[in-house]
Amino acid sequence: MPHWNVYISISGGVIMSTACNLGFLTIMTILDSDYKMENGALGIPLAPEVEKRIVDELTNIAESNLKEGNLYYVISNRWFTSWQKYTGQNVDSYLFDKHSPDSESLDFQKLVDRPGPIDNSDILVNGTDTEGNDLELRRTLQERFDYILVPQPVWEKLFDWYKGGPALPRNMISQGDFNVQFSVEVFPLCLKLIDSTDNSQSIIRLSKKASLQELYQRVCALRGIEPEKVRIWDYFNKKKHEILEDSQKTLEKAELQMDQDIVLEVQEDGFWPSRFSMDSTGNELALIPIDPPRSSVTTGGRPNLSNDHSTSYGGSFYLDSTLSSSIADTEDGYDISKAATKADRGGFAGLQNLGNTCFMNSAIQCLVHTPPIVEYFLQDYANEINEQNPLGLHGELAVAFGELLRKLWCSGRTAIAPRAFKGKLGRFAPQFSGFNQHDSQELLAFLLDGLHEDLNRVKQKPYFETKDSDGRPDEEVADECWKHHKARNDSIIVDVCQLFSQNPQGQYKSTLVCPDCSKISITFDPFMYLSLPLPSTVTRRMTVTVFYSDGSVLPMPYTVTVLMQGCCKDLSMALGAACCLSSDESLLLAEVYDHQIYQYFDTPWEPLSSIKDEEHLVAYRFPKNWAGLTRLEICHRYLENCLSDNLKGSQRKLFLTPLVTYLENPQTGADIDIAVSRVLSPLRRKTYFGPTNINGGKENDSFSGAIDESKNSSATHNGHGFQLMLNGKQEETSSRELNFQLCVTNDKGFSCWPISKDSPFKPGQSVNVMLDWTNKDHELYDSSYLKDLPEVHKAGLTAKKTRQEAVSLFSCLDAFLKKEPLGLDDMWYCPSCKEHRQATKKLDLWRLPDVLVFHLKRFSYSRYLKNKLDTFVNFPIENLDLSKYVRSKDAFGQSHVYELYAISNHYGGVGGGHYSAYAKLIDENRWYHFDDAHVSPVSEDDIKSSAAYVLFYQRVKVEPNAGLGKPPQDQVNP
C-alpha cells in the first residue's frame, strides 16, 4: 500500500477539508483524538462532521444510562435543525423516524453555513414569571416539531461551541407503579399561590415528583415565613378541599393539577385565620376545616364498618378503598351516600378538564353510557375484583373507574373533577400521565384491557398450545379457539364485548397464505373493537420520469393521477398504463437526491404519503423476470476547476440523473463498458459539434478522475473546512481501452477503483459505478436529457376546491376485510417453508359481540409527516345490519342489527384539537353533547359529522328476517 503524506492547512482561522473520502477519514481520526486539547485552546470551530460525531457519542452514552434525576435541556428545533443541516444530517429522518437511513449515505451534501448562537426565544412565552423570573415555555409546544431534548453533556458542548441560550434545564423522572417509564418533565407543575393575608398571588413551579415538604420550603423562602407558622390548602376549583400536610408525599400523589390554586395561611398570635378576603371573582372564600362526611355505601355496595382513612389495598381491600372513595366524593362536592341506582336518572354530569384531559373525558363518557357497564358498576362487583392477576393492576383500576362512574351517575348535573382517577391513571399507564394531549382510542383500548384483567374471574390461567387448523372445519377451530380464550378470560368486559347469550361472540377469522408454498393457516381471534381504515377518493397528481434500462428510447416524464392514500403499487400501475408498459416488463421506482439514487421503492405496499411533492422520482423499465440479472447503477461526475486563491486545483462533482440497467453474468470491465454504452445510446448526437469544454478549462481526456479521489494531486472541498494535499503519482491503467472512464464504487460512493478492460467481476445482485464525463463524451452525447428532473408535484399551484369527501361505514368495513399482504416488519413464519414470509392476510367476521365499537383510523403517519383525515363517514344511527359480513353458520339465527348510542369526536388537526362525546340516554331516548364539563341536548340530525372518531353500537332485537342483509338508504355510499 503506498504511503501518503497528509498536510492540514488553516486558512482564515478555519480548518479546511477536502471532499475526498480517504482524506476525510484521515482528518477525522486526527481531529477526534486531538480536539479536546487543541481546538478548545485555539478557539477554532471544529469541522461539522466532528461536531456531529461528538454529539452522537455523548447522546449514546446518555441513552445507555437512563435514570431518574438525569438533566436534559430544551433547545428550539428551529436552531437545532440549522445545526443538523450544517453537520450534514437528514433532518426529516430525525424529526419523524429515528430509524430512517443514516444521513451519512448522503455523501455529496449541500453546503450550509454554520449556525449562529443558540436561540430559544421562539419557544418561550414573552416576559417572565413573578417567582424567581423562571423562563416559561409555550404550552402548545410539541417535541420534535417545536423543540428537542438533549442530555446535559450535549448541551454543555453545544453551548461551548455556539454560546447563546437561554439554558432551559429539565429533569428526567420515572413514571408508573407497574410499568415504570422514564421521561423528561418538560412542563413542571405550575401552581398559583394565593396568600390569604393580602390576597396576593404568586406562581410556583415544581416537579410533580417534588414532595409537599419541598413545596413548603419554596413557599416559606418566597414569603420569608417560618415553616411552623404556615399551612397550605388544596384549593382546586376555588373550593377548599384539604390541608396539604408538610410531608414526603409527592405533589402528584396529592392530586395537584396544572395551574390550580393553593392557599397560604399564616398563623397569627397562635391562631389560624378562619377566612380571608375576597377573591378575584368577588366570592368570599371560607377556609374553615371540615371533616369529610362518611359514606354509608361502599364501592361494592357493602356497609361501611370503619372510619380508617388509609388507602392501602391489603387484607381489608374493599373497606379501605371505600373510605378513600368517600373522601374523594366530598372533594367533588357531593356525598355518594345518595342512592346509586338508575332510578336517580343520572348520566347528565360532565367531566372537568384538568389540562388537556378532553381525550380522557370523551372516552370515559362513552364507557359510562354503555348500558351493561353502567348496570355492572352500579351493583356490587366487589367479589369479582382480581387482586392477584399479574396482568392486571391489583384491582385498583376497576375500583377507580367504578368510583368515577358512580359519581357521574349520582351527582345529578354537577360536573365532576376526575382528579383521583387521573392520578391513578398516570400510575397505571405512564404514557397518559402529565398534561399532554393523547388519543381517546388509545385510552379506550387501555381501559378495556385493564378493566378486563382487574375483573377477570379466572384466578389461575391454564396454558393451551396453539394448534394449526390443518384443514379442519372452521366451526371446529373457532369453537376450540373460543374455548381456550374463555378458559383464560372471563369478565364483564368479555361479557359485553365478546359474549352474547351462551354463544361465543366477538371473533374474527384470520387466513394467512404463504406466497411461496401456498400453505394456509387459519386462526380465530377475539376482538374488543375494530379499527377501520378510511378508503379515500381524494386523488393526487404525481410526475415520474421513466427511463429505458435497455437504452432503446429517450427518458420521458409522465404525470399520472393516483389515490392520495394509495401505495407504490398503484403508482406503478398508473405509470405502466401511461407509458404503455408491455406484459413482459416491470417498473423499478426510485427517488433521486443530489444526483444519486437515495432509495428504491421495492415494497409495493409502501404508502404514497411517504413521498413528498418536492422530491424527484424516476422509474426504470426492466424485464419482468430480472431477478437473476445483475443491476448496474451508473452515477455521473464532471471535473470542476477551482480558481480561488485558497482552493486551487480541481475536484469531481456529481451531476445528471443516475441510470440503471442490467447485466447478464458480467465477467470483466468490458462487459460494464458495453452496458454503459448501450444505456447511453439514445443520447448519442447525430451531428458532431467539435471540441467543447463545459467547465471553461482546457480540454481534458485524461483519466484523472478514474482512480480514488483521495489520490488526486490536488482535491478540494470547501464545505468541510479542510485542505488536503497528497504527494504521489497516479497509477497508469489500461482503462483507455474502454469507451468511458469508469470507476467501481460501493453503494454509498465512499471509495472508487478504476475499471479496466480486464477487471474481473463476480456476478452479484448489483454493481455501482461512476462515469467520469470527458469533453469527448459531451461531444458525442447530449446530457441535457439527464438534467433537471421534474418534481413529483410542482409547488405553488392552487388546488381546486371540491366538495367534502364522503364514504360509508360499509366501505370502511370492506377495506378492513379485504385481502392484503403483511408488512415487511410483520412477516409470518411459515411452518412449511421454515422461513419468514410476506404472507397475504384476509380477515372475516366470524361472530359479533353485544357491544360493537368501531375505531375510524383518521390519523396516518409516514416518515415525513403526520396527517389527519377529515373524511366524512356516513354511519347509520339505527338499523346497522351486518348480517352479510358474518361468516359463522350458527350465528345467522341471531340478530346482527345494531343501534348507535355513543360517539367520541375529535376536532382539529394532528398537532392539537379537541375531543368531545355524544351519548344517548337510553331511558330518555335522547342525545346529549358532553363537552368536558358542559352538557347540552343535541339533535340526532347533528351528531353525524367528519369529527366522528370512535363509534359505539349495541345489538338490538329485530323481527326474524326483517330486512337482513339490506342496508337502509342512508348507509349507501353517496
Highest mean pLDDT among 214-218, 622-626, 694-698: 214-218
571: Cβ contacts below 8 Å, ≥ 6 apart: 542, 544, 560, 562, 589, 608
CB 304 within 8 A of CB 296: yes
Q: Is 947 exposed, middle or buried (0-12, 13-18, 19+ CB in 10 A)?
A: buried
Confidence class for position 118, pLDDT limits 50, 70, 90: very high
pLDDT tens per residue across span 326-361:
333 333 444 444 434 444 467 889 999 988 899 999
Neighbours of 516 (CB within 10 A): 12
pLDDT for 959 equals 56
Q: Look at residue 545 and tell me whether its pLDDT is greater than 90.
A: yes
Q: Look at residue 469 and tell me whether its pLDDT is greater than 90.
A: no
pLDDT for 306 equals 31
pLDDT for 139 equals 82
Give the lowest-confidence range in 95-109, 169-183, 756-770, 800-814. 95-109
pLDDT for 911 equals 66
Give the lowest-confidence range in 5-14, 373-382, 504-513, 561-570. 5-14
Give the lowest-confidence range in 320-324, 468-472, 798-802. 320-324
- What is the C-alpha separation between 731 and 740, in angstroms, rounded? 17
Instruction: Count the alpha carbons within 13 Å of 241 in the hemisphere toward its beta carbon.
Output: 25
Residue 220 annotated among the catalytic residues of the structure: no
Helix (H, G, I), strand (E, B) or coil at 649: strand
**SS3 letters for 279-348?**
CCCCCEEECCCCCCCCCCCCCCCCCCCCCCCCCCCCCCHHHHHHHHHHHHHHHCCCCCCCCCCHHHCCCC
Angle at 212 between CA 210 and CA 217, to 5 degrees: 90
- What is the C-alpha separation between 548 and 683, in angstroms, rounded? 12
Q: Look at residue 366 and tell me whether its pLDDT is greater than 90.
A: yes
Q: Look at residue 79 and tell me whether its pLDDT is greater than 90.
A: yes
Confidence class for position 958, pLDDT limits 50, 70, 90: low
Out of 190, 358, 497, 812, the active site residue is: 358
pLDDT for 733 equals 38
pLDDT for 1 equals 41
Q: Look at residue 557 and tell me whether its pLDDT is greater than 90.
A: yes
Q: Look at residue 796 and tell me whether its pLDDT is greater than 80.
A: no
Give the lowest-confidence range in 304-318, 567-581, 876-890. 304-318
Q: Look at residue 547 and tell me whether its pLDDT is greater than 70.
A: yes
Q: Which amino acid is at 694?
A: I
Q: Look at residue 875 and tell me whether its pLDDT is greater than 80.
A: yes
Please, what is the average pLDDT of the chain?
A: 74
Cα–chain center distance at 347: 35
Q: Look at residue 930 and tell me whether its pLDDT is greater than 90.
A: yes
Give the lowest-confidence range in 269-273, 625-629, 689-693, 958-962. 689-693
Instruction: Count the alpha carbons within 13 Å of 566 in the hemisphere toward its beta carbon.
Output: 18
pLDDT for 385 equals 86
Three cell numbers written together for 923: 331511558
CB 146 within 8 A of CB 123: yes
Confidence class for position 401, pLDDT limits 50, 70, 90: very high
CB 52 within 8 A of CB 90: no
Higher pLDDT, 282 or 396: 396
pTM, two decimals, is: 0.62
pLDDT for 434 equals 72
pLDDT tens per residue across span 714-730:
333 333 322 222 233 33
Confidence class for position 592, pLDDT limits 50, 70, 90: very high
pLDDT for 529 equals 80
Residue 616 annotated among the catalytic residues of the structure: no
pLDDT tens per residue across span 824-840:
677 888 888 888 888 88
CB 93 within 8 A of CB 863: yes
pLDDT for 32 equals 39
Q: Which residue do the cell numbers 380477515 mark?
A: 843
Residues of the chain above pLDDT 70, percent: 72
Confidence class for position 579, pLDDT limits 50, 70, 90: very high
pLDDT tens per residue across span 779-789:
899 999 999 89
Residues of the chain above pLDDT 90, percent: 23
pLDDT for 411 equals 74
Average pLDDT over residues 877-882: 92
Neighbours of 459 (CB within 10 A): 9
pLDDT tens per residue across span 638-694:
887 755 445 455 678 899 999 999 888 778 888 899 999 999 999 998 765 454 444
Confidence class for position 129, pLDDT limits 50, 70, 90: very low
Confidence class for position 302, pLDDT limits 50, 70, 90: very low
- What is the C-alpha separation between 110 and 211, in angstroms, rounded? 51
pLDDT for 293 equals 34
Higher pLDDT, 700 or 665: 665
pLDDT for 38 equals 39
Higher pLDDT, 935 or 238: 935
pLDDT for 750 equals 63
